[in-house]
Structure 1
Amino acid sequence: MICTRCKNAMIAWIQRNLVRSCQFSSSSRRKGYDDTIGNLKIGSHTRVIFQGFTGKQATANAKESIAWGTNIVGGVRPNKEGEHLGLPVLPTVRRAMEELKPHATGIYVAAHQAPAAIEEAIEAEVPLIVAVAEHIPLHDILRIHSMLSSQSKSRLVGANAPGIISAIGHCRIGFQPLPTFSPGHVGIVAKSGTLSYETVASLTRSGLGQSLCIGMGGDVVAGTNFVDALRVFETDDDTECVVLVGEVGGTAEEEAAAWIKDYKKRTKDPKPIAALVGGVYAKPGRVMGHAGAWAAPGEGSATTKYNALEEAGVTMVDHPAKFGGVVKQLLSSSGRDLKGIMKSASNAAAEQKRGFHTYRPRPPFGTTMSSNPQLQQRRLHLGTQQSVTLLKEYGIEVLANPPPEDDSRLLVITVDRTARSPCIIVSPTTKEDQIYQRAIHIPFEYSSGPTKADINTALEGLQMDAAPPATKAVAVDLIGKLITLYHAKEAVALEVRLKISSSSDKLEIYSPNLSFDDAAYRSTKRHSELHQQRDLSLEDPVEVSAEADGIVYIKLDAPTPNNEPRNIGTLVNGAGLAMNTVDALATHGGYAANFLDTGGKATSETVKRSFELILQDPRVKVVFVNIFGGLTLGDMIARGVILAFKELEMAVPVVVRIRGTNEKEAQKLIADSGLKLFAFDDFEEAAAKVVELSQK
């Protein structure tokens, strides 16, 4: 049950920020894009083109999608014209729109090429644009959303998302693992790809199937969010129940909770809704695998999101494997025809099996393995002295010795994920327990910057509207200089603390905390002089060494209830599932020593390397391998586990739980290995065993 303090904080946040965000999104600048939500209703009628159509990965994906039933009508390759897979290839998206009349396009190009491809699709007015590539620079996406906000023809899904798929209409635009999906009547919207696959599998095993599944994606800014998806599901006749899969970072879950409250009030027979939120035990201040899995000042935690949804009447679960049983119960208790829903799903699934026979999962686009070190670095944080030097270049002088925090104020230039634009965040206090309640987000247009009214709102939020004119002028100048830096160096967040000197009314600036978009450097080599300042000596050497292998490893060391030891090593594929594994273990009374995401491109060698990283932590008493084989093949993971046992000195027990693609082959490999492994299918049983072993 939500505590009074959390409830009051949540209400204050909604009154202060959500209302403003809704006003911002319903203005003339945002109204046009909202009108494109209906474009998400894909199905058997949807005509699809691929950009990058003749590429190796796009070709393989197209073959699978066509065999499944997706109506792909052709594709685009710049400066080329002809035929591919028996379908027309055209040199531009505009030509494709004129001649092929598509309803949707899938962007199947690398991250550095994706922004131009998305912009071309917007200019050609393609109704639905699906961008799956990871590591698209944040400021490129902000510029794209500045374009989208001024039009009413095109809707974006992604980026860094598995895409969108209509199981009931056999239309896939993305790289979702097809054998996991089954036609049915449950709508899904998720930030995490892997968590969505396990959710889908749970529903499929329960005989429910899915209607429409929307991958919101794990980037900082999503083209389609939870509220957008909920508006589609509300009027979709094929959807009887909705599942939301969220995680730490942003405010999309709180906004969904507010929408759900209103929906339940105005609807006589609302569709039941279940949800999961990952990252309850995420490490504060760290990017947890997904580029968007971090909370800005004034944003709530995963717990805040969980409480908001629960307060809105959403049924919460702690692991996606539970969704099947929970949704069945929700459908039954809501008075819906559960038997009829399951019969319809069963008939549709039987038809699907007759029409689709082969599928071989492949890695997501834009995430190919690379020998480039620091592949998984999500943000560059500058040290204090580096930050002071950079700010001085932009005419901002910083105090060498921070003053006492009393009466200090917070100023941040970062991203407003709801407005899909940059924003100013201000708080009249820097006290951690008060920022969430008192911070104000002020979104502004990416290209033109904040208005005079926005600046005045910022001054009011800083409680500087009554300050001497000279002091206010310095604050206004500071905001302008930080925004200039934000654009020039493609920052993610620029944070400083302010204080008005009691003796001179001078504005003192101190404690800078600056972070920049790593993708801008990794994908396009922009700002190399800045990113080469990264000081590895200030970082955990194990975490740094993991990056070279494309692994995200984060040591967890926050205090636990009753000071329980953090002695469980975790090895998981997918950032969302990795966060959820840490959370779910805690509900069983066990605490993870690390977060480890092998990524969707895990190989046997990657798994072996993951074991090496985990075993460097002397706290670890047991290792939990929790894999859902969506894109990652279960048997390949099993071989990696066996390889690690043979080549490493495994002095601790290992519990393995592998489900999904090739799960039977994986389980047989483990069973036949003769190794001392504890193998489980069920997550609850596996987690209970892990906790038992950790307490010996």
Structure 2
Amino acid sequence: MARTAVLRSWRAPAASTRIPRSSFSTTTRLGAYEDTIKNLMIGKHTRVIYQGFTGRQATANAKESIEYGTNVVGGVKPGTTGEHLGLPVLPNVREAVKELKPDASAIYVPGNGTVAAMEEAIENEIPLIMAVAEHIPLHDIMRVHQILRTQSKTRLVGANCPGIINTWGRCRLGFQPLPFFKEGNVGIVAKSGTLSYEAVASTTRAGLGQTYGISMGGDILAGTNFNEAFEVFEHDEKTEGIILIGEIGGRAELDAAEWIREYNKRTANPKPFMAVIGGIESPLGRVMGHAGAFRSPFEATAREKIAALEKEGVVVVDHPEKFGEGMKKLLAQRNPRSAGKAASGPGAMQRRGYHTMRRRPILSASSSKVTVDQKRTLIIKQHESFDLLTQRGIKTTGNSSANDLLLAISVDRSARQPAIVAAPTSEPSQLFSRSRRFPFEYRSKDATSDAMLSQVIQTLEVSDSAKPALKNLLEQLVDIYVSKEAVVLRTNIQVSEDGEVKVSGAQFRFDDAAFRSSKRQEDIHALRDIDGEVPEEVAAEKEGMVYVKMPGEGTIGTIVNGAGLAMNTVDALIARGGHPANFLDTGGKATKDTIKASFKIVTSDPRVKVIFVNIFGGLTLGDMIANGILLAFKDLGLNIPVVVRIRGTNEKLGQDIISNSGLKLDAYDSFDEAAQRAIDLASGTASA
């Protein structure tokens, strides 16, 4: 059954309506994960438990959520029966399901226990599970997705995300900053947490408010994607406008464009869409904070994603603070009595009446072509990749050719599976258009089946004589991929007329989360050459931050909390004529220690003439951020100007602290004003 058909067969429940447990599953057939989309429709009826209930983070979060109105009914602590926050604690999920009959579970299990907690929740058929944890090893989450695909009871939101919230039903699973949410009419789905907070704050300021905030999350594989969230928004009567927040990596935004095209065709008066895409100026191959925020050569660029969305009438802006007023104008155009009368194509109604707003600027294409070494995951040297292959009997040659073909093992993020990627060329500019993906079940023999090999041979445009050698190469690549927990294994190959296959180039990337969290794959990660890396990037890593040195003039140092917001900050500065020196993600939190460490790292770059601090305080207070900036400025004896944009909790108090400091600090609420001030200071057209 198609996903849209599944959604059309049911209606969103009223916020006060209790959904019978049996209604969460409409089928028992295999491969029916799509049937669980309806489980995202949380509200007052949703009975929530916490796994890891008595932990410090879970306790603080549960208190906030209960005060907000979330129907928390208890939780789990392994081996313990008792009470916490006046609610029952059960020793395992099975007992919790039996006694508490939960509709959803918020997983706050520390360390390596997250995956086991997810598997336990799936085994006990909890309808909705939400995981906030970062740094879950890729191969662990692939195993979880293989389980999810074969059942129709449980839906996952996350991981590496703020969670899911329904404002009208006062139900929150996650750590979203509640003061910014308001009952309203805009549905938001996002890869980035900080950008989603910006979107929430913007729509709240505009008087629109929100219905749902659904997190896709920043990992390579997402439990719930854009299209699945769209199906909820389409059928939710309170949702009148939809916001998508994407970034580099994968094809979820392209899938979203296809969904919107079909939606516009079948709907007389479609709900308007707006979007922002982060990472337009991100260097090729770099992981930009989020584990999934990197682009392989055979994936679409951010610009290509933007073009695909705009083709379907989506209004794409360059900064999320424009969502509020922009959506107000789009909703004012949405008049059922005139729907379809003056449209010139899908989404035309969305475009009309929007010309008075500043549109997304055309950005330069310079830095997107830069290829640099990877730091967030491990890319080993080519000769080390060759060693792994020759140990397995694969022939290699250092003589590359313009006629080389591409054969890789990667991840199909849309299928949520590993995949073979093949192309009849290795020319980077042609890979996106000419490559094909062939997903296969994790830890299965599907990758080297006769049917799969026939498709790969056809795509590579070689003769069947190469079949035995290609099968051997694929078997070895899959073995390396699984046994060594790789992210991407890319090879350039040469195929002779008699069917001989040689590898002429190799770039192997491995998951550092497996090593950092569990010390798995120590032999692979021992190959890392820290002495050959950029010192600032290594220093940032030690502080738990992600720093990427940008090429070029680099006069503006950036300090930002959150990967998506940091990518967007770099993009927007370049769009306005600025020259950012770096990408720096302090992480989801911005404490005085991380702020001080950030200033030290950024100012070590002699190109930097001004520092632009762009912080959205969600759980972190604006006044605390401001005081941290003052302390860092004084302790480090800084003598270059600093422009600070503080939004979020206690934003006005933080801005006042900066403005009244008497130091070379400027405080702003507006991103446009702050960015222009930083650009003017860097160019010398304004005085500090």
Relative to the length of structure 2, the TM-score reads 0.88
SS in 2 for 1:511: strand
What displacement does 1:654 show? 1.2
2:554 to 551, 566, 572: 566
SS in 1 for 2:569: helix
What displacement does 1:243 show? 0.4
2:278 alignment partner in structure 1: 278
2:681 alignment partner in structure 1: 693
Moved more, 531-540 or 410-419: 531-540
SS in 1 for 2:184: coil
2:618 alignment partner in structure 1: 630
What is the rounded CA distance, in whole Å, between the counterparts of 1:236 and 1:243 in structure 2?
14
Change (3 A) 1:567 1:673: same
- Asked if 2 retains the 8 angstrom alpha-carbon contact of 1:111 and 1:135, the reply is no
SS in 1 for 2:420: strand
1:477 aligns with 2:472: yes
1:113 alignment partner in structure 2: 113
1:498 aligns with 2:507: no
What displacement does 1:300 show? 0.2
What displacement does 1:30 show? 7.2
- Asked if 2 retains the 8 angstrom alpha-carbon contact of 1:297 and 1:425, the reply is no
What is the rounded CA distance, in whole Å, between the counterparts of 2:261 and 2:31 in structure 1?
22
What displacement does 1:381 show? 1.1
1:386 alignment partner in structure 2: 384
What is the rounded CA distance, in whole Å, between the counterparts of 1:243 and 1:638 in structure 2?
30
- Asked if 1 retains the 8 angstrom alpha-carbon contact of 2:380 and 2:527, the reply is yes
What displacement does 1:29 show? 8.4
- Asked if 2 retains the 8 angstrom alpha-carbon contact of 1:166 and 1:213, the reply is yes
What is the rounded CA distance, in whole Å, between the counterparts of 2:219 and 2:231 in structure 1?
21
Which AA in structure 2 matches 1:389? Answer: D
1:402 aligns with 2:399: yes
2:461 to 450, 460, 463: 463
What is the rounded CA distance, in whole Å, between the counterparts of 1:432 and 1:396 in structure 2?
24
Within 5 A, what are the aligned runs for 1:269-668?
269-335=269-335, 378-399=376-397, 401-404=398-401, 406-450=402-446, 451-464=449-462, 466-467=463-464, 469=465, 471-501=466-496, 505-557=499-551, 565-668=553-656
Which AA in structure 2 matches 1:46? Answer: T
Which AA in structure 1 matches 2:267? Answer: T
What displacement does 1:185 show? 1.2
What is the rounded CA distance, in whole Å, between the counterparts of 1:414 and 1:587 in structure 2?
32
Instruction: Tell me the C-alpha RMSD between the 2 structures.
Output: 1.7
What is the rounded CA distance, in whole Å, between the counterparts of 1:336 and 1:610 in structure 2?
51
What is the rounded CA distance, in whole Å, between the counterparts of 2:496 and 2:270 in structure 1?
55
SS in 1 for 2:183: coil
Which AA in structure 1 matches 2:421? Answer: I
- Asked if 2 retains the 8 angstrom alpha-carbon contact of 1:29 and 1:149, the reply is no
What is the rounded CA distance, in whole Å, between the counterparts of 2:129 and 2:376 in structure 1?
25
- Count of aligned residue pairs for this structure pair: 620
What is the rounded CA distance, in whole Å, between the counterparts of 1:103 and 1:193 in structure 2?
24
SS in 2 for 1:456: helix
Deviations 1:482-538 (A, max 9, x none): 001111011101111101246x65322122100111111111111122212211122
What is the rounded CA distance, in whole Å, between the counterparts of 2:292 and 2:451 in structure 1?
29
- Asked if 2 retains the 8 angstrom alpha-carbon contact of 1:164 and 1:213, the reply is yes
- Asked if 2 retains the 8 angstrom alpha-carbon contact of 1:111 and 1:134, the reply is no
Relative to the length of structure 1, the TM-score reads 0.87
What is the rounded CA distance, in whole Å, between the counterparts of 2:93 and 2:451 in structure 1?
40
SS in 2 for 1:151: coil
What is the rounded CA distance, in whole Å, between the counterparts of 2:214 and 2:111 in structure 1?
21
- Asked if 2 retains the 8 angstrom alpha-carbon contact of 1:157 and 1:223, the reply is yes
What displacement does 1:695 show? 1.5
What is the rounded CA distance, in whole Å, between the counterparts of 1:601 and 1:655 in structure 2?
19
What is the rounded CA distance, in whole Å, between the counterparts of 1:33 and 1:510 in structure 2?
40
Which AA in structure 2 matches 1:655? Answer: V
What is the rounded CA distance, in whole Å, between the counterparts of 1:297 and 1:688 in structure 2?
33
Change (3 A) 1:432 1:170: same
Structure with the larger RCO, 1 or 2 (CA within 8 Å, 6+ apart): 1
What displacement does 1:481 show? 0.8
Deviations 1:268-313 (A, max 9, x none): 1111111110100011110000000012342101111111111111
SS in 2 for 1:473: helix
What displacement does 1:605 show? 1.9
Identity %: 55
What is the rounded CA distance, in whole Å, between the counterparts of 1:394 and 1:632 in structure 2?
51
- Asked if 1 retains the 8 angstrom alpha-carbon contact of 2:52 and 2:110, the reply is no
SS in 1 for 2:300: coil
- Asked if 2 retains the 8 angstrom alpha-carbon contact of 1:196 and 1:245, the reply is yes
